[in-house]
Structure 1
Amino acid sequence: MAAEKVKVIYEELPAYLTFMEAAAKDAIRVHEQSPNVYIEQPLFKGGDTREIFETSEYSVEGSFSTTRQPHLPIEPDTAQAYWGEDGVMMIHCKSQNLYGNIAALADSIGLPKGKIRLVQNTVGGSFGYSMSAQMPALVAVCAMATDKPVSLTLSYPEHQHYTGKRSASYTNARLACDKDGKITALEFHMGIDHGAYSDASTTLTTKTIRFLGYPYNVPNIRGLSQMCFSNGNFGIAFRAFGSPQAYMASESLIDMLAAEAGIDPFEFRYINAAREGDLSPNSMSYRNYPMREMLDLMRPYYKQWKEEAKRKNTADKKYGVGVSFGGYHVGKSHDSAEVALELNEDGSVSHYNTWEEMGQGADIGTLAHTYRCLRELNLRPEQIHLVQNDTGTCPNTGSASSSRSHHMAGWATKIAADKLLDAMRKPDGSFRSYSEMIREGIPTKYFGKYESPSDVGHIDKNTGHGFDSVGQNFILNLAEVEVDVKTGKAKVLRYRIVSDIGIVGNRLAVTGQALGGMSHCVGFALTENYEDMKRHGTMAGAGIPSINDIPDDAEVVFNETPREYGPQNSTGCSESYQSSGHVAVLNAIYDATGVRIYTLPAAPEKIKEAMNALSRGEAVRQERWDLGCDMFERLDHFEAKATAEKLK
């Protein structure tokens, strides 16, 4: 009865659903304790770009945007929780960050870290969102409230609305070159709409500034990346974190500037690909310089496809070929990973780790590393047993993110393997058996812990200089697209990837990574989005490509430049394959139709509208984003801070 007497008065506040709305000077704070624009990361390289643009022969500019891309794993989240022995909360769930999730759970559900145990369920795909501890927190709280075992499976719409997405971005940028096509300067201002929460926002901001201009020689750069809160779905880790937003601008501008200078876009990339000694956008040397070799491998495909596209054109169907360069950084500074190897009574070896298996190949990666590091024992693959992803029995190998696991777990395996081999080795060079080890009182289990080198420092918050990763990979994409003139629908017909990740340990596993990344790029370019709860609640509604949308004619070519700093001369690969392929598709649409799509996804109606405008002699509609501040005023602020800190 008392409830009936209560009157609730609501004050309806404005909903800010884009960066521009949230960053406006008169916008109300989404969170009272923080301004809406809460992180800024500048990038300085070379001289004053404004002067260089004035004297450069050619320049182009554009405003580009990317969507809240949904991760779209095949299955929604399912998890179980119950009280185990000694009052430990047992949680079986999907997680890319088992030990990291325990730390987050302890704070959120009120249990000590030592009273939480996570076991990873066998899953098919995550692509980043299960870096967050949302689902294990939810199921754990249910088990604590009921004091009974709980199993929870979300419906797909529930999964869609409950989990984070790739953060939307809005970028104004321009690029210039001299009369010979050599890039002279780049400017960019990126606004990142990270939604309601700040999960991994600092890392995302620094990631974006690494890849505008990668892997070219861009001598002069001025840029600013800003992060804001909005009322939209929150941003979370997503494969190739931060780089797709960056490449959307820079790889589009590369094609636009090539056209302005009258140079083939493929050859324009060859002219500007970084050479030995050239510096990255962050003013560091590239770890490797395979760029021209990769272009040489791709050139025959490009020339052949271009010639065939011209011959195939009809009044109803237009064909085009697009290229994009990309890649990603591997791992981070101040990182560590631990594994354990144990000799068993039957002579087999067990490998213990928490290299989280999301379908990306943590199991085959563990097997390959162990096999190679223990080759002196002449073990067969079936003699290597994998014990993975249970925090109650396995050491902390770190998160399956940032393409770090192959590199970090690989070195940790080498360290553990060397310890085990040294313990087993007899004075005559042969190896002790398990029974001999036991008889001589020699331990049979050894831990290997690898820590990333101390010289890979963080990205400087005032200049953007720095590396903050343990390795680099590179990818070159080529896409052929068919565009239906009547409807504007684009379809990818063929796709080629030239990849350089060092020495390839398992071609089948890496090819799976590459082709999976390609399918994500096709969806990102043409169909995928999350902004409408009803329309985008299902896989089909959110735009996941069907089997008929993904080209059967797709291949990966490996250019193997040994990574002397990587385990078995290799490095991580996964995220490179989703970094820039979407722009190859957009560049192919331009090649086919003469219209450039600046905002994702390149839906049929968007392409058709642009073609209609072109046929009327009008410019393709492009909105310049009002990002709420003057970029150069903010850059002057950071330049003054950098100078002041130097004087200290």
Structure 2
Amino acid sequence: MAKEMSAAQLSASYVVKNLTINGVPRRVIGKPDVTLLTVLREQLKMTGTKRGCNCGQCGVCNVILNGKVVRACITRWKSVPEFSQITTIEGVGTPENLHALQWAMIVCGAIQCGFCTPGFIMCGKALLDENKNPTREEVRDWFGKNWMACRCTGYKQIVDAVMKAAAILRGEEKIEDLAKMYKPGDSVWGSSLPRPNAVYKATGLWDFGDDDRLKLPEEFLFAYPYALEGVRHAKVNKIDVSEAEKSEGVNCVVTYKDVFANRGTNRIYGQVNCASALTDGWEHRIMVEEGDKIRQWGEVCAVVVADTETHAREAAAKIKVDYEQLSELIDVYMAKKPDAVKVYDEIDGYDGMPNAWNKRVFKKGEDPHDIITNAPYHIDDEFYSSRQPHMVLEADCGYAYYDEDGKLTLATKSIAVYRHQFQIARGIGVAPSRIRVIQNNLGASFGYKTAPTNEPFLALALIKSGRPVYMRVNMKEHNQRTPKRSPSLMHIRAGADKNGKLLGVEQTWWIDHGPYSESANDLTNKSGQFFFAPYAYDNMKAVGYTVWTNHRWSAAFRAYGSPQAYWGCETAMDMLAYECGIDPFDFREQNLLEWEPFTENPRGQFPSGYAPEVFPLPEMMKKARPYYEEMKKKAKELSTPEKKYGVGVSCSIYNSNDDGADEAASNIELLPDGSVRVMNTWEDHGQGADMGCIGTAHEALKPLHLRPDQIHLLLSDTSKAPNSGAAAASRSQVMVGNAIVDSCNKLLDAMRKADGTYRTYDEMVAEGIPTFYEGYTQAKVLHKDGTTEVCSGNDKDTGIGKPFGFHMFAVNLAMVSVDMKTFKAHCEKFVLVGDVGKINNYLIVDGQQYGGIAQGIGLALTEDFLDESKYNNFVTMGFPYIKDIPDDLTLVHVETPRPLGPFGASGTGEMPLSGPHVAICNAIYAACGARVKTIPAIPARIKAALDEIKK
């Protein structure tokens, strides 16, 4: 009689299955309780299937199992039937032989970062295998019921792609050769040529950071950053890692003591860069120190380095931390109370720094307080914006090793490779010149990776272990530990005369930036720089404070600072319009900035005391008017007592270079075959850096008649490319673009012969002429006489300055429905009239704008990050899925050439998220009379606003 298996035997038992995977018969062995995703990725190395949320909420892991789409992350190996047919993205098509849906995704611009692309293709293919003639709504329903998530695109282009693929499969359209989409002599600039990397993303060949992990040399160890669960504010007495160090598979455990042993300061520089701040920017600890404090959930106490992730996590569970719980400041309301506990006190070395640690002031004309009070029409109210989570689909990951030159090399999701090199060097005790940062292909960022996250921990794990290391936190940990958008509390007053002319505006605002200063000055400035910026007024005073709290630390999020600013002032504009009895669209139009080139008229200048380089909003309002009137008519027709419809409007402006003296470099080299290589750090977090570089360089090098594939790119490696700055502030197209143009012009000048023709590479070498050239640019403003001036920051006492040479503009129109039983609001239609200058590539710009609108809808209606113990997955954080975003999205491009932009361009990425949320909430008011002043406008807040009216 057979003996029962022991627990050890059971844990080691395996299940073997005979399967057909991508048409190939296979016998595959796996542990019964592992997931199908683990078997495919880690055993079979089919990394086209991605690991995202790991709990069935995003669909990036979709495969087709026996004709049905399944989420591989929640499908257990033991439940996969034997003799199953499995299709992964690797079995759908190749770059040379694309499936109709892969091709359509490429040409429709449905691919941005590409992390969700394989999942959407597998899901869409399963639909098309069943139904080759779906309606758009059937496609949307299909993606909705299969929990498909995309944070980049806005979904519209993905539906476009499925519809186009269906037409191809019905024989109504044909697949064109991607290589033939460019015809010799065509301009790449101003075209809709697909981005080069889209074909690899569509076929599952584009490896992201976690895909790299499965293909690294066997010497790599796993590093796990350990943090206490649920502790936001506590004094730490002792950190005991002795049991963890003795655990199975552990190489070492890194603590702050190892940082000091390496002569590091255990600090990350927060880039404060302003005289008004009370911190020097070095308050951010890398690792928790004994005798110091934990200041937020997720502070890393130790890094466990082991042979496997399982062993690293098991060892981390044995770490003991003795601490004393302290009072927590979880929002700005608590932090600004006079008796509030201090986030930094005497034990920190900051001598009891107050929670309000930075003050910014903007003034214009007279003090407006009495002017507003005595105005025929005025408003006086408070507004609060949420701690919006980035909700990327790829968790934070990366790896570290010593390269061939002995440099400490970090391959991460960084979108600021040179900045991170500098920010962590002093803290870890390694000179910046000995640190190399490389950007991995990454599944989106939306700005959170302008901040160092895993970089210092990877570096310290490498230093202590002496072995190369990989690090990945799971999605729950990623959501809990990575930075978020800063909430803002705004008290705004504004007044208008009897004709509805703005007389004065006033604001006090408080930015909740968590416990670290990370670029907080730029953020705080935004609420002054863009305060009622689209409009003309004589008198203004705005005073802002940056405040410490114990909630999530904050870093860049797309449209950094402007969603907060416009949430306050564009809601106030709407309220004032109704006070005046004027239609909100008309009220905005009649109060637009009195702009003319180089104007010295204060009513034609921004709050910082300078006029923008262009001001297309009057023309944009004219183009928006027909849409607005038609949407209002439609809303009136659709409204019933059960469901009410309304239309809202907002205007917004955003910058396209970093505050103040911004600069960028880019190099170019002529190669022996006549092609060129462009080298810079235009980091790509899905926005299309490859096509940005190629489109700009191709236009600059037109005399050479190069094909796009003759422009090679070497991007975002600090050892091989010059410093182009971070891919932030929508600066890359203008700043890196101008540096590319400068390098191209230098190359052309060198190649040009006396007769106007151009030398070949061999002729350049024969004549001793260099084939390598460096490009450089600075952000500047243009003067009336044609001279330029380098941009400058804002004065701390008046706000006066010239921080930006480039801007983007938007008119946002939203039609919203409100269910009067559930009080749930839904955006039904959105129109964005935008001006980003001359457009490099329409597919990319359209994708950025659709995606920005979708994130704006989420910001308005669903997205928030409150209690980390609950708000740690996509559903609880309010991720906008396809049915939350309307298919009725319209883009209207107004392309006003920028005088100093490359070929007239400005930036793109952040403009579409600056103001859509306000238009949506203004539409809620137009629909049912509920004026929501705190976002997101969840049903409870809409109901509360309606109940307030009844009172």
SS of aligned partner of 2:910: helix
Q: Quick check: 1:295 aligned with 2:621?
A: yes
Counterpart mapping for 1:221-236 below 5 A: 221-236=540-555
Identity of aligned residues (%): 40
SS of aligned partner of 1:601: coil
In structure 1, give the amino acid aligned to 2:717.
Answer: D
Instruction: Measure the CA separation in 2 of the matches of 1:54 and 1:439.
Output: 77
Q: What do the CA deviations read for 1:141-166 (whole angstroms, capped 9, x no partner)? A: 22222221211121111111221111
Instruction: Measure the CA separation in 2 of the matches of 1:374 and 1:481.
Output: 47
Aligned residue for 2:654? Answer: 328
Deviation at 1:173, TM superposition (A): 0.7
In structure 1, give the amino acid aligned to 2:746.
Answer: K
After superposing the two structures, state which structure 1 stretch, 549-558 or 278-287, moved more.
278-287
Instruction: Measure the CA separation in 1 of the matches of 2:407 and 2:612.
Output: 47
Q: Quick check: 1:178 aligned with 2:497?
A: yes
Q: Does the 8 Å CA contact 1:23/1:37 hold for their aligned counterparts? A: yes
Unmatched runs of 5 consecutive residues or more in structure 1: 619-648
Structure of greater Rg: 2
1:403 to 702, 712, 730: 730
Q: Quick check: 1:382 aligned with 2:717?
A: no
Instruction: Measure the CA separation in 2 of the matches of 1:233 and 1:248.
Output: 21
Counterpart mapping for 1:463-482 below 5 A: 463-482=798-817
Q: What do the CA deviations read for 1:345-387 (whole angstroms, capped 9, x no partner)? A: 1111111111001001111110111001001111111111111
Q: Does the 8 Å CA contact 2:589/2:621 hold for their aligned counterparts? A: yes
In structure 1, give the amino acid aligned to 2:437.
Answer: L
Deviation at 1:8, TM superposition (A): 10
Q: Quick check: 1:598 aligned with 2:917?
A: no
SS of aligned partner of 1:87: coil
1:567 to 892, 902, 906: 902
Aligned residue for 1:263? Answer: 582
Deviation at 1:127, TM superposition (A): 1.0
SS of aligned partner of 2:454: helix
Instruction: Specify whether residues 113 and 172 from structure 1 end up closer, same or farther in structure 2 by C-alpha distance, changes over 3 A only.
Output: same
Deviation at 1:59, TM superposition (A): 0.5
Q: Quick check: 1:253 aligned with 2:598?
A: no
Q: What do the CA deviations read for 1:400-432 (whole angstroms, capped 9, x no partner)? A: 111111111111111101110011111111111
Instruction: Measure the CA separation in 2 of the matches of 1:93 and 1:8.
Output: 29
Counterpart mapping for 1:139-154 below 5 A: 139-154=458-473
Deviation at 1:23, TM superposition (A): 1.6
Instruction: Measure the CA separation in 2 of the matches of 1:203 and 1:312.
Output: 43
Q: What do the CA deviations read for 1:187-219 (whole angstroms, capped 9, x no partner)? A: 111011111111111111112211110111122
Q: Does the 8 Å CA contact 2:668/2:743 hold for their aligned counterparts? A: yes
Instruction: Measure the CA separation in 2 of the matches of 1:314 and 1:26.
Output: 50
In structure 1, give the amino acid aligned to 2:767.
Answer: E
Aligned residue for 1:29? Answer: 342
In structure 2, give the amino acid aligned to 1:28.
Answer: V
Aligned residue for 2:820? Answer: 485
Q: What do the CA deviations read for 1:47-95 (whole angstroms, capped 9, x no partner)? A: 1212212432111121100111111111111101112223211211101
In structure 1, give the amino acid aligned to 2:867.
Answer: D
Aligned residue for 1:439? Answer: 766
SS of aligned partner of 2:495: strand
Q: What do the CA deviations read for 1:546-576 (whole angstroms, capped 9, x no partner)? A: 0111111112111111111211111112111
SS of aligned partner of 2:333: helix
1:500 to 835, 848, 854: 835
Deviation at 1:578, TM superposition (A): 0.9
Q: Does the 8 Å CA contact 1:407/1:567 hold for their aligned counterparts? A: yes
Counterpart mapping for 1:611-630 below 5 A: 611-614=946-949, 617-618=950-951
Q: Quick check: 1:557 aligned with 2:892?
A: yes
Instruction: Measure the CA separation in 2 of the matches of 1:392 and 1:287.
Output: 36
Q: Does the 8 Å CA contact 2:372/2:493 hold for their aligned counterparts? A: no
1:539 to 857, 874, 888: 874
Instruction: Measure the CA separation in 2 of the matches of 1:53 and 1:98.
Output: 47
Deviation at 1:11, TM superposition (A): 5.0
Aligned residue for 1:586? Answer: 921
After superposing the two structures, state which structure 1 stretch, 516-525 or 134-143, moved more.
134-143
Instruction: Measure the CA separation in 1 of the matches of 2:477 and 2:337.
Output: 32
Instruction: Measure the CA separation in 2 of the matches of 1:55 and 1:134.
Output: 50
SS of aligned partner of 1:134: coil
Instruction: Measure the CA separation in 1 of the matches of 2:760 and 2:738.
Output: 25
Instruction: Measure the CA separation in 1 of the matches of 2:430 and 2:923.
Output: 53
Deviation at 1:286, TM superposition (A): 2.5
Aligned residue for 2:665? Answer: 338
Deviation at 1:455, TM superposition (A): 4.0
Instruction: Measure the CA separation in 2 of the matches of 1:492 and 1:168.
Output: 23
Instruction: Measure the CA separation in 2 of the matches of 1:126 and 1:45.
Output: 37
With a CA cutoff of 8 Å and minimum separation of 6, indicate the structure with the bigger relative contact order.
Answer: 1
TM-score (ref. length: structure 2): 0.63
Q: Does the 8 Å CA contact 2:378/2:495 hold for their aligned counterparts? A: yes
Instruction: Measure the CA separation in 2 of the matches of 1:445 and 1:510.
Output: 31
Deviation at 1:498, TM superposition (A): 0.6
Instruction: Measure the CA separation in 2 of the matches of 1:75 and 1:132.
Output: 16
Instruction: Measure the CA separation in 1 of the matches of 2:723 and 2:322.
Output: 50
Q: Does the 8 Å CA contact 2:778/2:790 hold for their aligned counterparts? A: no
After superposing the two structures, state which structure 1 stretch, 271-280 or 577-586, moved more.
271-280
Instruction: Measure the CA separation in 1 of the matches of 2:417 and 2:750.
Output: 31
Deviation at 1:12, TM superposition (A): 3.9
In structure 1, give the amino acid aligned to 2:887.
Answer: D
Deviation at 1:167, TM superposition (A): 0.6
Q: Does the 8 Å CA contact 1:169/1:193 hold for their aligned counterparts? A: yes
Deviation at 1:9, TM superposition (A): 8.7
Deviation at 1:392, TM superposition (A): 1.5
2:942 to 598, 607, 612: 607
Instruction: Measure the CA separation in 2 of the matches of 1:8 and 1:161.
Output: 19
Counterpart mapping for 1:42-57 below 5 A: 42-57=361-376
The count of residues paired between Structure 1 and Structure 2 equals 612
Instruction: Measure the CA separation in 2 of the matches of 1:334 and 1:610.
Output: 44
Instruction: Specify whether residues 187 and 445 from structure 1 end up closer, same or farther in structure 2 by C-alpha distance, changes over 3 A only.
Output: same
Q: Does the 8 Å CA contact 1:218/1:281 hold for their aligned counterparts? A: no
Deviation at 1:253, TM superposition (A): 0.7
SS of aligned partner of 2:828: strand
Deviation at 1:538, TM superposition (A): 1.1
Aligned residue for 2:750? Answer: 423
Instruction: Measure the CA separation in 1 of the matches of 2:883 and 2:417.
Output: 36
SS of aligned partner of 1:86: coil
Instruction: Measure the CA separation in 1 of the matches of 2:450 and 2:379.
Output: 38
Aligned residue for 1:350? Answer: 677
Instruction: Measure the CA separation in 2 of the matches of 1:343 and 1:9.
Output: 61
Q: Does the 8 Å CA contact 1:520/1:578 hold for their aligned counterparts? A: yes
Instruction: Measure the CA separation in 2 of the matches of 1:132 and 1:177.
Output: 41
Q: Does the 8 Å CA contact 1:496/1:554 hold for their aligned counterparts? A: yes
Q: Does the 8 Å CA contact 1:294/1:498 hold for their aligned counterparts? A: yes
Q: Does the 8 Å CA contact 2:458/2:471 hold for their aligned counterparts? A: yes
Instruction: Measure the CA separation in 1 of the matches of 2:506 and 2:397.
Output: 45
In structure 1, give the amino acid aligned to 2:616.
Answer: P
In structure 2, give the amino acid aligned to 1:387.
Answer: L
Aligned residue for 1:102? Answer: 421
1:18 to 331, 347, 351: 331
Compute the RMSD of aligned alpha carbons: 1.6
Q: Quick check: 1:61 aligned with 2:380?
A: yes
Q: Quick check: 1:460 aligned with 2:786?
A: no
Instruction: Measure the CA separation in 1 of the matches of 2:866 and 2:944.
Output: 22
Instruction: Measure the CA separation in 1 of the matches of 2:451 and 2:321.
Output: 34
Q: Does the 8 Å CA contact 2:329/2:341 hold for their aligned counterparts? A: no
